[in-house]
Structure 1
């Protein structure tokens, strides 16, 4: 059976610069089955789902539903539903959490502040292991179910990992897809080894560079630029690099990546089209998805020295 993930893997489609973009995430526990548009089609009240979708528009916050790995055929509702809010900007990453009997009040949160990285003491600080979120929503793409669910189940069975299934983190064709909080780096074609290595790195404040799609805090050119500088320098510190400027527009950008030690790089990123055509999602027509190609990386200190 041919799938979008099989085609992407066989064509060696690059992963860098393909992560979903959001500076802050709101994750709401909702067991049971999910539809393709999970906020509107799940056991979550459709009215609450629609209100959340409206409330986060333009705020930099992205909402997703989560559930524990396992069987999901109309399982009973928990007395309390776990909720996480997580900000992913470097140097200011945080996770806040609570358990709610009813998520109906969630649309009233100050999403503009949350998107800007200000939690204002909301809920409790989460101090547990990094969160591993594996996309498993088969109603959105069968690859997420076929490849994501076994991975999530394997991780849960191994213990010692705070693992959740999640409705959508983008990039079905890179399944199994993984998202790690608090730093907000996404991974594609994940295996149990990749997940465990990425989580171990996150526990130590580091980033696993291999198999990484990018940090959700930045737009896709910034994601590609960050990973290019990490590949060049070997820098693994999650908060060591920041994207401080992104100038231009498709199909070409100039991105500035700064290090906490004062170094900086100018990264030229060009948007290309993946060829030959392939399905961006199972059951969809063939397409040529955009890819972020790093054309050049120049250390700005070198430019000043030669001026």
Structure 2
């Protein structure tokens, strides 16, 4: 069976600069089945899901549903919903935990402030340790279910207590994909071994560039530039690099990457279509997904 993930792997499509963008993640526990557009297609009240999606628009906050690995009967939620809120900007990363009886309570939150990194005392601070979010939504793409659910189950069975299935991380063709908090790095084409390596590195404040799709707080040109500097220098400190980017015209960007030790790099990035054509996701028509190519680092 040819899937979007096997085809992407065969074409050696780069992982870099493919992470979904969000400065802050709002993750809401919701048991039961998920539809392709899970916020409005699950046991969560569809009106609440649509309202949360609307509230996030333009704020930098990205909402998704989560659940513990394992079987999920077609039944409504029982009791309270766990809520994880995480801001992922370098030097200002934080994770907060909260519980709500009704997810509609979250509509009272200041989403613009959340996106800017101000939690306003919501919940309590996460006690520490990485949180793994593995995309498993087969209604969105079959690769996520076929590859993501076994990975989430393996990590949970290995004793990684903070493992969650999540509805959507983008980039189905890079399955199995995982987002790791608190830093917000996305990873792709993972195995059980490489995923455990990523979690061990995250626990010590490091990232693993080999499997990295990028840090979600950056737009895609910035993700490409950061990855290029990491590969050039061997830097793995998760909080070591910051950046600013500006358009340079004709699908190009100029990105300044700064190290905490004072070093800087100027990176030129261009958007180009992937060749040959391939589907971005199983069931989607064949196309040429945009990719970010690093033209120069100085």
Q: TM-score range by the shorter chain?
A: over 0.9
Provide TM-score, normalisation by structure 1: 0.95
Residue equivalent to 1:112: 112
- Shift in CA distance, 126/55, structure 1 to aligned 2, threshold 3 Å: same
CA distance in 1, matches of 2:2, 2:73: 27
- Shift in CA distance, 249/189, structure 1 to aligned 2, threshold 3 Å: farther
Secondary structure in structure 2 of the residue aligned to 1:210: helix
CA distance in 2, matches of 1:138, 1:249: 38
CA deviation after TM superposition for structure 1 residue 57, in Å: 1.0
Residue equivalent to 1:165: 165
CA deviation after TM superposition for structure 1 residue 161, in Å: 3.8
8 Å CA contact 1:129, 1:161 repeated in 2? no
The alignment yields a C-alpha RMSD, in angstroms, of 1.1
Secondary structure in structure 1 of the residue aligned to 2:297: strand
**Number of positions where the alignment pairs a residue of Structure 1 with one of Structure 2:** 298
Residue equivalent to 1:251: 251
CA distance in 1, matches of 2:155, 2:75: 21
CA distance in 2, matches of 1:21, 1:216: 5
CA distance in 2, matches of 1:130, 1:143: 24
CA deviation after TM superposition for structure 1 residue 76, in Å: 5.0
8 Å CA contact 1:18, 1:171 repeated in 2? yes
Residue equivalent to 2:227: 227
- Shift in CA distance, 164/218, structure 1 to aligned 2, threshold 3 Å: same
Residue equivalent to 1:263: 263
Secondary structure in structure 2 of the residue aligned to 1:145: helix
- Shift in CA distance, 210/26, structure 1 to aligned 2, threshold 3 Å: same
8 Å CA contact 1:66, 1:167 repeated in 2? yes
Residue equivalent to 2:24: 24
CA distance in 2, matches of 1:248, 1:231: 23
8 Å CA contact 2:26, 2:61 repeated in 1? yes
Provide TM-score, normalisation by structure 2: 0.98
Residue equivalent to 1:206: 206
- Shift in CA distance, 124/142, structure 1 to aligned 2, threshold 3 Å: same
Runs of 4+ in 1 over 2 A off after TM superposition: 244-250
Residue equivalent to 1:303: none
8 Å CA contact 1:243, 1:256 repeated in 2? yes
CA distance in 1, matches of 2:221, 2:250: 9
CA deviation after TM superposition for structure 1 residue 244, in Å: 2.4
8 Å CA contact 1:252, 1:269 repeated in 2? yes
Q: Which runs of 5+ in 2 are unaligned?
A: none
